[in-house]
Chain A
Amino acid sequence: MAKFSNVNQLPTTGPLGMFTVKTVLVSAGWTVTKSGDGLALYSASGDILTGGGAVAGGLGNNRAYFTVTDASTKVCLSFQMITNTTWRVKYSETGAMAGGSPNSTTTGTATDEQILYGAGTDASPTGTQMLHTDNSYRFHVVANSTAQASNGTYPFWFGCTVNATGVAASFFGLEGMFTGTYHPLDVVPRAIITWYVATGPVVTNWVQTPDSNLYARGWIAYGLGAAAFKRLCILPYIISNANILGGPGSALTMSTGPYATEDQPLPLLLGRAVAHGTLPGPKGTCTDYKTTSNSARDYPSTILNATNAYVYYGGLLVLWPESVSPSL
């Protein structure tokens, strides 16, 4: 496992932050498979973006974008800038977005594509807020260059923590399901967790009915007749009556337990109950992501900072570079 990262950044604009997402992903083995600068520059198979500015070759122009594909040529994501804080993001499992009429302002398409942020069409895209207000947050990107065992996912995440307070205002993360915890017929055993909430995530978007606002999404029965891209519950634990352990605003804490000063994070199960609508069932347990068992801690706390670092982030614990202190 090799982590690539660029954390504790203070980007002055969203596109400058997102340019570092591209840089870190490429370092971790992803390939830019299409890009346009929103002006005249375009590549149908490579990377023409050289910065995050609002200039030629920059990601800072309206409709500038990059499309990246993981090392297994399965997961494909396009990130298109609409404004500095609003983006249109698409996701495919086909390794490419080879369809459509891509050019310097228009992303390609895939038959299975899902829009994670934004709306409209490729020819007339609109965005929704993915990043916090410019110049008011720390920006973090962490990616792993090693595929997760069995599920083959190359996990990464990026997000904004509000300056001074450390509120985890935004998050975008790709994560695979742990070996043995997902159904053997699930050929897409991974999920994407996203939120933008200026005041930080809330537990009712981890679990609730209806499912329309849940932060986690993933394919269920991909490749089968019933296939659908669904919202997934991030399931915290109930340990004492209706009080929840884990997640943002967890009512309970376990402290560090009797053994050590380190907290013990809890595995994170994704799934849908019958009450959440069609295609219920467990998706699986996240491989890297954990949930907190100590309600007294959040960003910028870490555990195992020197050896196998995780950072507290809005109720989650996510990978963090070793021996680096998260900044407020």
Chain B
Amino acid sequence: MAKFHNVNQLPLTGPLAMFSVKTVLVAAGWTVTKSGDGLALYSASGDIITSGGAVAGGLGTTRAYFTVTDAATKVCLSFQTISNTTYRVKYSETGVMAGGSPNSTTVGSATDEQVLYGAGTDASPTGAQMLHTDNLYRFHVVANSTAQAGSGTYPFWFGGAVNATGVAASFFGLDGMANGTYNTLDVAPRAIITWYVATGPVATGWVTSTDTAFYARGWVAYGLAAASFKRLAMTVYATQPQTGSWIGAVTGLENLSTGPYATEDQPLPLLLARCLAQGTLPGIKGFCADIKIATNTTRGYPSTVLNATNAYVYFGGLALAWPEAVSPSL
């Protein structure tokens, strides 16, 4: 396992931050398979994005984009700038977005593509807020260059923590399901968790009776007739049913503290699933391989656990992979 990262950044603009996402992903083994600068520059198979500025070859121009593919040529993501804070993001499991009519302002398409942020069409894209207000946040990117056992996923995450307060306003993370916890017929055993909430994530983005606002999404039965890209509950652990208390999420939760052994907290496994009450295709997606549930209510960003050896950072109720021996900044 090798972590590549660029954390504690203070980007002046969203595109500068997203340029660092591209840089870290490429360092971790991803390939830029298509890109356009929103002006005249375009590559159908490579990377013409050389900065985050609103200039030729920059990501800072409206409709500039890059499309990246993981080392297994399975997961493919396109990130397109609409404004400094709003993006259109698409996801495919086919390794490429070879369809459509891509050019310097238009992303390619894939038959299984899912729009994670934004709306509109490739020819007329609109964005949704993915990043916090410019120049008000610390930006972090962490990616792993080793495929996760079983799922073959190359996990990464990026997000913004509001300056001074550390509120985890934005998050985008790809994680595979832990080996043995997903159905053997699931050929896309991974999920994407995203949120933008200026004041920080809320519990109803984890679990509630309807699935419309869940932060986690993933394919269910990919490749089968029933295949559908669904919202997934990030289940929490019940501790006192009589009071509705639980462990996990970000409000109403109980505290496990550090336990009796050490000063380090023990993050808990995170189960993604759907129940019948949440509509079609209920079932267990699996347990996240890297992303954990933070268990100590007295701690949030910038706290870490196992900072020297196997670092995790607290981020909006989650515990996320973090570079060792690096202190998160406010």
A interface residues (Cβ-Cβ under 8 A, vs B) = 181, 183, 185-186, 203-204, 207-209, 220-221, 224, 226, 233, 235-245, 252-260, 264, 266-267, 269, 271-276, 279-282, 285, 293
Q: Is A244 within 8 A of B238, CB to CB? A: yes
Shortest C-beta distance, B16 to chain A (Å), equals: 38
Interface on chain B toward A: helix, strand, loop, or mixed SS? loop
CB-CB contacts below 8 Å: B222-255 with A: 224, 226, 233, 235-247, 254-255
Query: Bound state CA distance, A181 and B226, in angstroms?
Result: 34
Query: Bound state CA distance, A150 and B276, in angstroms?
Result: 37
How many residue pairs between the two chains, A and B, have CB atoms under 8 Å in the bound complex? 165
Shortest C-beta distance, A310 to chain B (Å), equals: 14
Return the contact of B256 from the options A203, A243, A259, A282 (Cβ within 8 A): A282
Q: Is B277 within 8 A of A243, CB to CB? A: yes
Query: What per-residue 1/0 map shows which CB atoms of B259-277 lie under 8 Å from chain A?
Result: 1111000101101011111
Query: What per-residue 1/0 map shows which CB atoms of B119-138 lie under 8 Å from chain A?
Result: 00000000000000000000
The interface residues of chain B lying within 8 Å CB-to-CB of A221 are 260-261
Q: Is B185 within 8 A of A274, CB to CB? A: no
Q: Is A239 within 8 A of B233, CB to CB? A: yes
Q: Is A236 within 8 A of B238, CB to CB? A: yes
Closest 4 CB pairs of A and B: A281-B259, A257-B283, A273-B254, A258-B221
B32 interface residue per 8 A CB criterion: no
Return the contact of A258 from the options B184, B220, B271 (Cβ within 8 A): B220
Q: Is B183 within 8 A of A185, CB to CB? A: no
Query: Bound state CA distance, A255 and B241, in angstroms?
Result: 22
Question: Known: A204-B241, A208-B242, A238-B236. Is A280-B276 also a contact (CB below 8 A)?
Answer: no
B interface residues (Cβ-Cβ under 8 A, vs A) = 181, 183-186, 207-209, 220-221, 224, 226, 233, 235-247, 254-262, 266, 268-269, 271, 273-278, 281-284, 287, 295
The interface residues of chain A lying within 8 Å CB-to-CB of B184 are 259
The interface residues of chain B lying within 8 Å CB-to-CB of A256 are 283
Shortest C-beta distance, A255 to chain B (Å), equals: 6
Q: Is A240 within 8 A of B278, CB to CB? A: yes
Question: Known: A237-B236, A237-B271, A282-B295. Is A257-B257 also a contact (CB below 8 A)?
Answer: no
Q: Is B282 within 8 A of A257, CB to CB? A: yes
Shortest C-beta distance, B310 to chain A (Å), equals: 11
Q: Is B273 within 8 A of A279, CB to CB? A: no
Question: Known: A254-B274, A282-B295. Is A274-B255 also a contact (CB below 8 A)?
Answer: yes
Return the contact of A255 from the options B207, B243, B246, B276 (Cβ within 8 A): B276
Question: Known: A257-B282, A260-B183. Is A235-B237 also a contact (CB below 8 A)?
Answer: yes
Query: Bound state CA distance, A240 and B244, in angstroms?
Result: 11
Shortest C-beta distance, A217 to chain B (Å), equals: 16
Q: Is A259 within 8 A of B221, CB to CB? A: yes
Question: Known: A237-B236, A244-B238. Is A264-B284 also a contact (CB below 8 A)?
Answer: yes
Q: Is A274 within 8 A of B257, CB to CB? A: yes
Subset of 30 A-B contacts with CB under 8 Å:
A181-B269, A183-B266, A186-B261, A203-B241, A207-B239, A207-B240, A233-B239, A235-B238, A237-B238, A238-B235, A238-B246, A239-B278, A243-B275, A245-B275, A254-B273, A254-B276, A257-B284, A259-B183, A259-B186, A259-B283, A264-B183, A264-B283, A266-B271, A267-B287, A274-B255, A279-B260, A281-B260, A281-B261, A282-B266, A282-B295
